[in-house]
Structure 1
Amino acid sequence: MPKKPRTEEEINHFREKILMYAIELIQEHGYKGLTMRILANRLGVKAVTIYNYYESKDHIYLAVLTRGFQMLYQECAKAYDSEPEPMARLRAMMRAYLNFGLTQSNFYNLMFTWHVPKYRDYLGTPMEKSARYELEESQKVYQLFIKAVRELVEQYVPADEDQIRAYIIYFWSALHGYVAGINNQLLSYMHDNPFSLSETIIDNLFKHIESELKEYIESKGKGL
């Protein structure tokens, strides 16, 4: 009797299962440790089965990255929509970013921390199209933060795009350093409860941008 075809729901579930096991393998053994044979063993299937869902190891890896950035964007977009006032909106987005980094550490580490292939590594290869899609999804997060910072700055002064990008780099460097320090447990050697510092980190970031805005506005003869 022929085997009953899988439903679309079952297919999607198994595709997700492949991605979850793949990210576990990368966490344990690095990108080079992800092989179709080992992944198949984890899943309890033959390697050829995985090829029915993903054409290669790189395809799986890029799918994991893409999914991670989509998840992060959804959380940040939800935070953006939750607050009407620009300052509160940006704070909510920062909290969403920190929460994602700490609760989805496997995804986060792969997206931002581990030394793994990036878009330029796939230029001129069969995976360039998939890599470009992953890059486009990641840029949605970046563009959303640019939009939020621009709306905050434009309450007081005309937006300077270079300065806005500088703010984003400053914010991200601080937030990423905090998340990475918790995920690799380094901060636990520096503080009894590093999780309690999240609001302090965000407060200090806003003090920085408020100080810079105040200086700029005063130089123009206005008040903040």
Structure 2
Amino acid sequence: MEKKGTILNIPLFRKKLRGKTMPKAPASRETVESIKDNIIDEAVSLINEGGYADFSMRKLGSRLGIAAKTIYNYFSNRDELYLKVVTRGFEILHECMSGAHSSATSPFTRIRAMAGAYVQFGLDHPHHYNIMFSMDLPKYADYIGTEHQELAAMQNETALQTARLAEKAFRDLAVKNRKLRGTPTTHHLMRVWATLHGIVSLHNSRVTLEVGDFRAAIDRIIDETVKEFR
């Protein structure tokens, strides 16, 4: 018999009334989205701990305190859930980067603000960051020709939105800074990205605890990374 459980204190199973099992009223859209969000959040933690190969609906259900088959009411299989996890991460990152882009008043301050926003995202969402950028997990190309190709393409497009936004910021800066015009925009973008990724990865690995207060130096490292573009 299926165990009773809740996600975010939202009943997932049918209610009993006067000894009879009665169908539960259809959940509201808000309720369904809340349940999905909680499933995604727990999936992020589980994938971060054991990778994709060790990720299963059974283990996820155990973590949530529900039967695995209940999760299938919201996600068709683990591939769909995994792609939703990655998409959610890139949506959050794009929101952070877009906010930084909009708040800046000049091409250079825009680059600096976006660099800071990228690092802050990585520090605030370390599990999502690992899944998106550090772990060896399925990518869009792995889903080409499969039933999930369309969903994977949507996830890939969400990621590319952020890349295009950053590339535009460098193109705008090149208009003001002649030194940047002889080198492809993607070169500058990749070089800065590599440094920012290193900052996040070193911090989140906690290895820097052995050498001092690394977090206190992050702003200065970012400043030094982008100062040549001033």
TM-score (structure 2 length as normaliser):
0.86
Percent of pairs identical after alignment? Answer: 35
Higher-helix-fraction structure: 1
Q: Structure 2 CA distance, aligned partners of 1:168 and 1:81?
A: 18
Does the 8 Å CA contact 2:108/2:229 hold for their aligned counterparts?
A: no
Q: How far is 1:158 from its partner?
A: 9.1
Where does residue 206 of structure 1 map in the other structure?
226
Deviation by residue 1:44-102 (Cα, 9 ceiling, x = unmatched):
22222111111110111110000100100001100111112111111111111111000
Instruction: Give the unaligned 5+ runs of structure 2.
Output: 1-21
Q: Paired residue for 2:35, among 14, 34, 54?
A: 14
Instruction: Give the unaligned 5+ runs of structure 1.
Output: 211-224
Give the match's secondary structure for 2:178.
Answer: coil
Q: Structure 2 CA distance, aligned partners of 1:187 and 1:140?
A: 32
Which moves more between the two structures, 43-52 or 12-21? 43-52
Which moves more between the two structures, 56-65 or 27-36? 27-36
Number of corresponding residues = 209
Instruction: Note the 1:58-207 alignment, pairs <5 A.
Output: 58-157=79-178, 160=181, 163-190=184-211, 192-207=212-227
Deviation by residue 1:162-204 (Cα, 9 ceiling, x = unmatched):
62100010010000011000101122223x1111122222122
Paired letter, 1:199: D
Give the match's secondary structure for 1:125.
Answer: coil
Higher-strand-fraction structure: 2
TM-score (structure 1 length as normaliser):
0.89
Q: How far is 1:209 from its partner?
A: 3.6
2:21 equivalent to 1:3: no
Q: Structure 1 CA distance, aligned partners of 2:196 and 2:226?
A: 12
